[in-house]
Structures are given as structure tokens and as C-alpha cells.
Amino acid sequence: MDNQSILNLLFSATGLVLGWFLRELWAAVKELKADLAKLREEIPTHYVSKDDYRQDVRELKEMISKLFDILEKRRDKV
């Protein structure tokens, strides 16, 4: 075999490996995009947003504060 045939074989093998790698990478990116789209649909149904959580915690704190006020009034009467 001459040098040109060896170079052609090396470039072909390199191109084959690189093509396979790029195809696998492309498929992985497509799969990740699909998973991300699915996750975007599921997140609002499974998790609470920060604003809703803060509002609920604020309401709980107000309720607890009212309970403590009632207990303080009862304690003062006794």
C-alpha cells in the first residue's frame, strides 16, 4: 500500500468515527429537548410556586400570631 491509500483509509476511518459520534450527540440533544419539554409541562402540576408558598406562610404566621394574642389575653385574665 502506498502512502495515499493509507491516508485515505485513515481519513475515512476518522470521518466514520466522527460521523457516528455526531449522530449520537444529535440524538442525545433531541432526547434532552423532549425531556425538557415534558418537564416544563409537569412542573406546574407537581410543585408549588414561590409566590404561593410565601402567601401561605404569611397566612400561617398571621394565624399563629392571632392564637398567641388570644393566649396572652387568657393568661392575663388568670
Q: Count Cβ atoms within 10 A of the Cβ of residue 46 and give its class: 0-12 exposed, 13-18 middle, 19 or more buried.
A: exposed
Report residue 77's pLDDT band, with 50, 70 and 90 as the boundaries.
confident
Cell of 44: 406546574
Nearby residues of 56 by Cβ (< 8 Å), 6 or more positions away: 48
CA–CA dist 65, 57 (Å, integer)? 12
More confident residue, 76 or 23: 23
Tens digit of pLDDT for each residue in 32-52? 999 999 999 888 887 888 888
Nearby residues of 48 by Cβ (< 8 Å), 6 or more positions away: 56
> Does the predicted model carry a pTM greater than 0.95?
no
- Per DSSP, the residues of 32-58 read HHHHHHHHHHHHHHHS--HHHHHHHHH
